[in-house]
Amino acid sequence: MSPQKYLRYLMLPSLFGTDRTKEILQVNPTVIPQREEAKEVKIFVHEYNASSIQEYGVESALECLHCQDNDYVSWINIDGLRKNDVETICNGYGIHPLVIEDILSINQRPKMDEVDNILFCLLNMLYFNEQKKSVETEQISIILGKNFVLSFQEDASRDVFPPIRTRLKINNAKIRQRGADYLCYSLLDMIVDNYFIVMEKVGEQIEIVEEEVVRSSNTRSLARINQLRKELIVLKRNFAPVRDLLNGIIRSESELLEDRHTKYYKDVYDHIVQAYDLSENYRDIIMSMQDLYLNNVNLRMNEVMKVMAIVTCLLAPATVIGGIFGMNFDIIPYIHNRWGFFIAVGLMLLIPLWMLYFFRKRGWF
């Protein structure tokens, strides 16, 4: 194998993203995943009612167990997961061990469960990595209880909830006037709204690749199409289960959910359905781009074959004339004529020129 071919062979896995494929498909429910303990854990507490709010961070999980013993709505957000901290908080709030196991798991399918006296939602927050041009996921678990909401995030460095924290500081904000189930709705709504930001980024990449395919179809264009198709798989794997999650909340008869807030959850449901439909449209565009790429490759091949056929046809008269006058016979017309060579060469040039004119007039090229 030549050095150039060997280098091209080494580039294929990174070009077509085989590692990304393994990352997307590394889900095996029969194998218990091992989560790494977070190096940094941040626990932040919001306690509020219509007239006042307290915001503070705590160093230990034990310090936030008192929040269930007051008349405030409490939101405890844990950034970074450690088994001891999660178990301490959940045991203090009477959370079932199966829910604790789901919180500590990885690569879970988004879902909603009603266990004992709490409502448990597990889903993913999505981010778009500008450097890798890929969609990244972060698992978040939200537990709705009586006058409290617990949220567990994997990454302590980012989330999508700053607008909610800002609204909580406003005295007359609607979120301050409502209960814990409205706070749970606000968290889910913010996560789903962020999906559209990610999809907008993916849509921009689709437009760029589409222009590239139209201008010049090459192996890198096909690789980019393949990468975008994998990112759409990530989106679809999150949108469909979240739709079912919200549908389960809407149909729930839990006492934790007020009837007047059902319309808000229906609004989030409408948004996730719209996001799912948009991902299907993106998928259709990707398939159309793949067909366009194949059509362009075939068209280019046809152009090459047409040029080669024309060249072959133009050389055919010269080959025939040269073959006739090159036969090994004693008597050949013009063999001793002083103009014989020039006549033969002239025919070899004139006939192809006439053929070019004829092909051009017929519109064959």
Helix and strand counts by DSSP (H, E) for the chain: 10, 7
If you write DSSP's letter for every residue of 32-58 in order, what string do you get? ---PPPPS--EEEEEEE-SS-EEEEEE
The answer on pLDDT for 327 being more than 80 is no
Distance (Å) of CA 81 to CA 47, 61, 84, 151, 152: 22, 11, 9, 11, 7
- How far is Cα 202 from Cα 234, in angstroms, rounded to an integer? 11
pLDDT in tens, 143-169: 999 889 999 998 878 889 999 999 999
10 Å Cβ neighbour count for 206?
19
Q: Which of 72-86, 159-173, 324-338 is predicted least confidently?
A: 324-338
Q: Give mean pLDDT, residues 250-255.
A: 90
Query: pLDDT tens-digit profile of 207-222?
Result: 988 888 888 777 888 8
| CA distance readout (Å), 300 to 296, 303, 304, 365 | 6, 5, 6, 14
pLDDT at 7: 38
Write down the pLDDT at residue 326: 73
Note the pLDDT of residue 9: 39
Q: What is the pTM of this model?
A: 0.79
Give the end-to-end CA distance of the chain in Å, rounded to a whole number: 38
Cβ neighbours of residue 186 closer than 8 Å, sequence gap 6 or more:
164, 167, 175
State the pLDDT at residue 66.
Answer: 77
What does R_g of the chain's alpha carbons equal in angstroms?
Answer: 34
What is the side-by-side order of every strand in the sheet holding 53-58?
53-58, 42-48, 73-79, 148-153, 134-145, 118-129, 111-115
Confidence of residue 133 (pLDDT cuts 50, 70, 90): confident
> Between residues 321 and 131, which one has the greater pLDDT?
131
Lowest mean pLDDT segment, chosen from 33-37, 196-200, 338-342: 33-37
The 8 Å CB, 24+ separation contacts for 291-296 are 292/213, 292/214, 292/217, 293/213, 293/217, 293/221, 293/222, 293/225, 296/213, 296/217
Fill in the amino acid letter for 340.
Answer: G
Q: How far apart are CA 71 and CA 48, in angstroms?
A: 9
Residue 12 is predicted with a pLDDT of 44
246: its two tokens: 């919200």
Using the predicted structure, report yes or no on whether residue 320 has a pLDDT greater than 60: yes
Element (H, E) at 334: none
pLDDT of residue 224: 87
> Quick one: what percent of the chain has pLDDT higher than 70?
88
Distance CA 44, CA 80 (A): 12
* Mean pLDDT value across residues 23-52: 76
State yes or no: pLDDT of 3 exceeds 50. Answer: no
Least confident of 72-81, 280-289, 346-355: 346-355
